[in-house]
Amino acid sequence: MLFERVRPVVGRLVCSARQPDISHLALLVVVFALIFPGNAAATKYAGAFMENGGGARALGMGGAFTAVADDPSTTFWNPAGLATLSERELLLMHSERFGDLIDRDFVAYTQPVNWSIFGGEQAGIGISVIRLGVDDIPFTDHLWDQLDTNPRDGVVDDDELRGLLTLQDQIEYKSDQEFALMFSYGEQLGSWQAGATIKFVRQSVGPYSSLGFGADIAFLRPAIWKRLDFGIKFQDITTTYLSWSTGRNELITPAVVPGLAWNQPLTDWNMNFVLAASLETRFDNRRDADEYWGGSASANPHLGLEVGFSGKVFLRGGYDSGFSEGNLTAGVGFRINPLTVDYAYAGDTLDIDEVTHRISLSVRF
């Protein structure tokens, strides 16, 4: 059982003379339980490190970016947005989630091309990388036989965990490294834009590792009604497959993310408003882990607002995956061509007194 394998880790943290902060302890247990590739790992959380996409602008708007899709982060949110690119752009993002416990990076390069696969009017391509890292994960598997003494039944109970006090110098610390490499393409087809992303996934937790492959397809329809844009992404449409070195295989089940965005310029004040919403819908039995659920289906809402001043200063706010205080997001952006700098804040969704900060820099050339 996964719990039996994680429990020595928890015991190590509880018994340690260094007494960690309780918020970091709680989060470490959650993270380790989700990423550990034992036989009982929950497939429904496989590849979860990719779910928050990239770009501080998108996070500041609560992740409601499916129908916005007009910067390099669209390689994740909706590759159909690549179809109308006018110039090359590079985006670099760094995020510290839940304090400094989890580091997450996103890099995307996009450019227009003078060819198209399906004979459309214009097209664009992009390449992006997502990386997530968690350091100092304590591993105690190699101490199992030394802890299982009373009696030797293959289970380390609470009394036996006290043995970690005398074995602290033998505990090994490993890192979790997770990568996704994505190749994206978008094309203008009449009033619609279509796009696709092929992604390669590699995860490693200490001595364990996995490889995977999957694909997304997406569509975007600007001005489907007046100033209302519509977008939809079919994520992991191929059912992304992950093969672990332990012999376990995992599947990332498909998700559907429809979205709307209303663009409203106020020319008299040289301002522009973007109000966006999306609904991330999954079918892998997450139940009450998501905001809304019924049977095996569940959904998380995303809502965001961006106010632009003279196309140079931007204020943003939103709600990411719910409408409680912990789901609140906010952000700000500054554009001095060819550079754009964006910052985003996300609330304490786990109620552990730790928030998320994300900053990104993009340059057009």
Report how far residue 95's alpha carbon sits from residue 117's, in angstroms, rounded to the nearest whole number. Answer: 35
- Record the pTM: 0.80
pLDDT band at 13 (very low <50, low <70, confident <90, very high): very low
In 226-291, the DSSP E strands lie at 228-235, 240-244, 249-252, 255-266, 271-282
Sequence-ordered list of residues with C-beta below 8 angstroms from that of 115, at least 6 positions apart, any chain? 123
In this structure, how many other beta carbons lie within 10 angstroms of the beta carbon of residue 62? Answer: 30
Give me the number of domains the chain comprises.
Answer: 1
Give residue-wise pLDDT tens across range 75-118: 999 999 999 999 999 999 998 876 667 788 999 999 999 999 99
Q: Distances from the Cα of 90 to the Cαs of 74, 75, 180, 287, 318, in angstroms?
A: 12, 12, 17, 38, 25
Span 199-221, mean pLDDT?
A: 91
Structural domain boundaries, residue 55 = 2-364
Give residue-wise pLDDT tens across range 295-323: 889 999 999 999 999 999 999 999 999 99
Q: Distances from the Cα of 138 to the Cαs of 12, 177, 251, in angstroms?
A: 8, 15, 27
Count Cβ atoms within 10 A of the Cβ of residue 261 and give its class: 0-12 exposed, 13-18 middle, 19 or more buried: buried
Q: What is the CATH number of the domain that holds 134?
A: 2.40.160.40
Asked which of 153-162, 205-214, 215-224, 227-236 is least confident by mean pLDDT, the reply is: 153-162
Q: Is 236 helix (H, G, I), strand (E, B) or coil?
A: coil
Span 230-246, mean pLDDT?
A: 91
Read off the amino acid at residue 16: S
Give residue-wise pLDDT tens across range 40-75: 333 666 777 788 889 999 999 999 999 999 999 999
Helix and strand element counts for the chain (H, E): 6, 17
The two structure tokens encoding residue 147: 């802890």
Asked which of 71-85, 189-203, 350-364 is least confident by mean pLDDT, the reply is: 350-364
Report how far residue 107's alpha carbon sits from residue 94's, in angstroms, rounded to the nearest whole number. Answer: 9
**What mean pLDDT, rounded, does the chain reach?**
83
